[in-house]
């Protein structure tokens, strides 16, 4: 019962902080927390967790009461490099980081 999200445009550092909050929790509690958290990362993780839940219900005939978050792995992916001009023909680099998320649910 897995769900993947690849190449999402948010820093892995921000996603890892949120992953610590919902790791090892019941799916129902984690979904409630993520749904009402006011951050961009919460909406991203909510969609991944909801997808994993629906995969578990449809493919393995599991119920939401028995599931919990077994592993939630956030890895870095491509870094897009952009440049911003400053005075005297110099440039500052802008790094736009992306992430991969792997979520696995387990039956308790």
Domain boundaries, the chain: 2-107
The reported pLDDT for the residue numbered 18 is: 86
Buried b (16+ CB within 10 A) or exposed e, 37-62: beeebbebbbebbeebbebbeeeeeb
pTM, two decimal places? 0.87
Mean pLDDT of 31-60: 94
The reported pLDDT for the residue numbered 1 is: 86
- Please name the residues in contact with 36: beta carbons below 8 A apart, sequence gap of 6 or more: none
Mean pLDDT of 90-107: 96
42 pLDDT band, cuts 50/70/90, is very high
User: Which helix (H) or strand (E) is 7 found in, with range?
Assistant: strand 2-8
| C-alpha closest to that of 9 among 100, 98, 94 | 98
Q: What superfamily does domain 2-107 belong to in CATH?
A: Ribosomal protein L22/L17 (3.90.470.10)
pLDDT of 15 > 90? The answer is: yes
Mean per-residue pLDDT over the chain, rounded: 94
**Strand, coil or helix: 98:** strand
């Amino acid at each position: 019962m897995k769900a993947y999200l690849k190449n999402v445009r948010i820093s892995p550092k921000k996603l890892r902080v949120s992953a610590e909050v919902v790791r090892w929790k019941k799916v129902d509690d984690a979904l409630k927390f993520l749904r009402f958290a006011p951050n961009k990362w919460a909406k991203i993780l909510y969609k991944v967790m909801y997808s994993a839940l629906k995969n578990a219900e449809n493919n393995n005939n599991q119920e939401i009461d028995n599931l919990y978050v077994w592993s939630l792995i956030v890895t870095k992916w491509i870094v897009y490099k952009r440049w911003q001009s400053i005075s005297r023909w110099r440039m500052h680099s802008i790094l736009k980081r992306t992430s991969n998320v792997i979520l696995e649910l387990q039956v308790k």
